[in-house]
Structure 1
Amino acid sequence: MTLLSIARLSKSFDGVQAVDDVSFDLEAGQLLALIGPNGAGKSTCFNMINGQLKPGAGTIRFDGHDIAGMRPRNIWRLGVGRTFQIAATFNSMTVLENMQMALLSRERRIYRLFGRAASCGKDEAMTLLDLVGMTAHAQRSCAVLAYGDVKRVELAIALANNPKLLLMDEPTAGMAPQERNELMALTARLAKERNIGVLFTEHSMDVVFSHADKLVVLARGRLIAEGDAEAIRNDARVREVYLGTGASFAPRAGATL
């Protein structure tokens, strides 16, 4: 089932065409990597989907809704979760309290609390932390966590809204190689179990080729290729403008190249 459909999406800044007539689809349960060299238009495309930027032209349809130009919070309420290149948590709060804040926001209770917030959504928060392997750290401050653990907390926060679509901007930035692959393997498992579509940008090609079901490649704002890992690895234009020889990137687990 097509969850997200991007059609002829374009955006310019002061006459510079950052995204130029880009179209692609994302299925439920699928991991789609949006890749390309610096300046390719990935972030601009990503931010139009998330609502941080209004498209100059084109359509963005999510789960039957036209979301082009909608505010980020309204897109979030339709079932779109998001993680950021620089992990966004409240360092002054515990891991559990961060989760409870996410759940309170989902229920629109941030500005109309009655009683103690400490008791709100605790069981559900712990269930979400269990999904990402962070229950043992529930009472620790986010400020003292290892960076890989902060990324896991951020993933749990994104799942608090029961998203149908998860947008992940450079999810493994700043992480060690083992942490990178563990986080994306966890994301892939949760996407399949919960039928969540995942769109992510990523510069780590070992992560992309190991975990993405589909890749979309941008260069100078235009889509130059899309397909699975094998197709992208062997695409002459992609190898020329982005991957080089591509010889250093291991194939996706179970793939025959």
Structure 2
Amino acid sequence: MSVVLEVEGLAKSFGGVRAVQGVGFAVDAGEMLALIGPNGAGKSTCFNMLNGQLRPDAGRVRLLGRDITGMVPRRVWRLGVGRTFQITATFGSMTVRENVQMALLSHAGRLLHLWRPATDAFVAEADALLARVGMAEQADRVSAILAYGDLKRLELAIALANAPRLLLMDEPTAGMAPRERVALMELTAGIARESGIAVLFTEHDMDVVFAHADRIIVLDRGRLIAEGAPPAVRANPEVQAVYLGAGLVHG
């Protein structure tokens, strides 16, 4: 497998709080890598440094060998990093198709002439992405009336609009019913492996993590304390002590 994302010595402090301390890892094409840890471990800070929302105090972030450390989010997006958020971010007044069209327009960086409606742009491409996530039949519905699980699928289609090589997913199954969680993660894993997309996701649901991650990395108080295949991480005494607890050791 080829390495898509390389992180070396990443660090960030806020005043006297060292949120992330010398974190390093890599994600391969087609791999599902889970980033877990207790509240305050530094997961969100780490994520926000990867896509440019925060600038690291130290360390390097490389995408396919290119240094993207500290680049602003719009540049990172156009280089092929997609992202989904814990709280879905869609335009409620727009149709499902129009939401995807907006993402495609953003990626293309095109300015439309005033006499050409944006709704005429990238229709076929938007429909193809919606079909990929199982939302083709809902293309003309206003997104504000979608069920929550369908909103998550729409957000995934939007995140795929820039043909990402890396997909960052922040709590992708938050607020979803158990069956919907399984369906979304199976869909994501299938797309990732088919297209060679590297996926890094945070998640509090350990059933989701251990069922769908190829590898797991664990943060605690900003430090990387464990990395490896799910069985090895589950058996790690330090991970058990700071996060998993006895109830999940043999689950």
Residue type of the alignment partner of 1:3: V
CA contact (8 A) 2:130 2:136 kept: yes
Distance (whole Å) between structure 2 residues aligned to residue 161 and residue 112 of structure 1: 22
CA contact (8 A) 1:82 1:158 kept: yes
Partner of 2:68: 67
Which segment drifts farther, 192-201 or 100-109? 100-109
Deviation track 1:100-132 (CA, whole Å, cap 9, x = no partner) reads 111111111256555122221111111100000
Aligned ranges 1:7-22 → 2 under 5 Å: 7-22=8-23
Deviation track 1:172-204 (CA, whole Å, cap 9, x = no partner) reads 111111111110110000000000000111111
Partner of 1:254: none
Deviation track 1:207-245 (CA, whole Å, cap 9, x = no partner) reads 100000010000000000000110011001100100002
Please say if 1:185 is aligned against 2:186.
yes
Please say if 1:176 is aligned against 2:182.
no
The change in CA–CA distance for 1:192 and 1:115 in structure 2 (over 3 A counts) is: same
Distance (whole Å) between structure 2 residues aligned to residue 110 and residue 230 of structure 1: 50
* Aligned length in residues: 250
Distance (whole Å) between structure 2 residues aligned to residue 95 and residue 3 of structure 1: 30
Partner of 1:38: 39
Distance (whole Å) between structure 2 residues aligned to residue 182 and residue 248 of structure 1: 25
Distance (whole Å) between structure 2 residues aligned to residue 249 and residue 204 of structure 1: 15
Residue type of the alignment partner of 2:91: F
CA contact (8 A) 1:209 1:249 kept: no
SS in 2 for 1:43: helix
Distance (whole Å) between structure 2 residues aligned to residue 75 and residue 126 of structure 1: 25
Identity %: 62
The change in CA–CA distance for 1:249 and 1:103 in structure 2 (over 3 A counts) is: farther
Distance (whole Å) between structure 2 residues aligned to residue 46 and residue 100 of structure 1: 26
Which segment drifts farther, 105-114 or 39-48? 105-114
Partner of 1:105: 106
The change in CA–CA distance for 1:247 and 1:15 in structure 2 (over 3 A counts) is: closer
The change in CA–CA distance for 1:148 and 1:16 in structure 2 (over 3 A counts) is: same
Residue type of the alignment partner of 1:174: G
Partner of 1:120: 121
Distance (whole Å) between structure 2 residues aligned to residue 108 and residue 79 of structure 1: 13
Distance (whole Å) between structure 2 residues aligned to residue 248 and residue 89 of structure 1: 38
Partner of 1:135: 136
SS in 1 for 2:90: coil
Partner of 1:253: none
SS in 2 for 1:124: helix
Partner of 2:246: 245
Residue type of the alignment partner of 1:162: A
Structure 2 unaligned blocks of 5 or more: none
Residue type of the alignment partner of 2:108: E
Which segment drifts farther, 60-69 or 38-47? 60-69
Distance (whole Å) between structure 2 residues aligned to residue 3 and residue 146 of structure 1: 33
Aligned ranges 1:160-239 → 2 under 5 Å: 160-239=161-240
CA contact (8 A) 1:81 1:167 kept: yes
The change in CA–CA distance for 1:15 and 1:133 in structure 2 (over 3 A counts) is: same
Distance (whole Å) between structure 2 residues aligned to residue 15 and residue 114 of structure 1: 54
CA RMSD of aligned residues (A): 1.3
Distance (whole Å) between structure 1 residues aligned to residue 205 and residue 179 of structure 2: 12
TM-score (norm 1): 0.94
Distance (whole Å) between structure 1 residues aligned to residue 125 and residue 230 of structure 2: 36
CA contact (8 A) 1:205 1:249 kept: no
Deviation track 1:235-257 (CA, whole Å, cap 9, x = no partner) reads 0110010000253775xxxxxxx
Structure 1 unaligned blocks of 5 or more: 251-257
